[in-house]
Structure 1
Amino acid sequence: MQVSDAFIAHGLEQARYVLFNVRNLTDMVRAPVTLRRGTAARARAQLKILETIVRRRLWLIALGLTLAPVRPRAATGPAPLAQGVEDVTQSFPSMPACRISLAGRAMDMQLHEGSVHFPCTVRASGPVPAAPIFARIIALHGLLSAPQAHAKRLARSLERLRRKGEARPVCMPDTGAFRLRAELGLVATALPGLINARLETWESSG
């Protein structure tokens, strides 16, 4: 199944747009110490969906790469930003580090938990710390600022897993696409089929 560069670029651009909206929602530029509980809940929900889409987007890129043999090289600085991408993280205050796993075993495991009601449970109230949410935003920004570099590292990780004889990964359908703006929702819906098509040669490649 062919995947055009335009499709990949469009998906990344839509993800950046949603991430920008989450930054605005949380007023990140002002670096508040706390967020209203409702605002934090909306931000976490959007970030969870966005993390899945970006992870899958990088999988799609990684599975389409042809890897050259690894050659030792001297340490270099960070990869240059893609054209039109602004590095906004320099203006952010110091935040706890957040790392988004790209090749974890539970990459696309989707847990469907039923709604359980506990009559005696008291819901927490009041503001919540903003730093963990800001850390997730910064981590996503890092992935979207240099997608090719992250996809290449992911491709090497997947190749190591394949050579170890790990079972072929399966990308599950996205059940949260309906919560997204239309453009990103279409991208999210298409990704599982595209990824699984590229994984069909998992056992026979190499």
Structure 2
Amino acid sequence: MLNLIRLEIKKHKIDSSIKGALVATGIIFGVILLGLYVSKLDHELVFENYEVAFSAIDTLVRAVFIIFASTLVAKLIIDEYKNKTITILFMYPINRKKIIIAKLILIVIFTFTAIIFANTIITTLFYFFNEKMQYIPDTLSLIVVKKHALKVLMNALAATGMSLIPLFFGMRKYSVPTTIISSIIIVFIICSNNGGMSLNDIIIIPATLAFIGVLIAYLAIKNIEKVDLIE
């Protein structure tokens, strides 16, 4: 399995996706700083305290990388079916299920790691930047850090599961645009903020969506022997 994952990394040049994730992380941090700068000019507070700021950062990170994950789903799976290159892979003496599992594991690991990494880097930079510029009149406590770390971990797990949902829509017609658009819709549903609350705050919703994503991945693996025979 590890060899298959390594082959996928090499074949699809995942290092370019890693660079893309780093750029996305920098852009998110830039957007946060721009918001702080504009709020200071208007003499308004964007974030009341560190807890609110970290929550906003987490929401932005999850939104970006759920969509980012859909591009990986499109690149590693949907595009291969669309261009029939998956057929060549299936000709090798390797179990088809193992090929798809390797692709899905790569997507899951990448997405989860990217969300954790981006959250860690951005919140750390945000803290040091705020300590210098004093945009937020608040002191960061260990309790807030621990609470946020646990929240990021749970949200990252849920978001990683959700990121597999676009696989279902993309596989319907082997459509890359459909795959990405479905991820954008998921982001709008789960990350939209209404009066300081979002659907992600209702634990059962992200948990259910994550379960659906995992179920979709399971069915994709289970039915892999039939997919190319249906056409």
TM-score (norm 1): 0.31
Structure of greater relative contact order (alpha carbons < 8 Å, 6+ residues apart):
1
Judging by fraction of residues, say which structure has more helix. Answer: 2
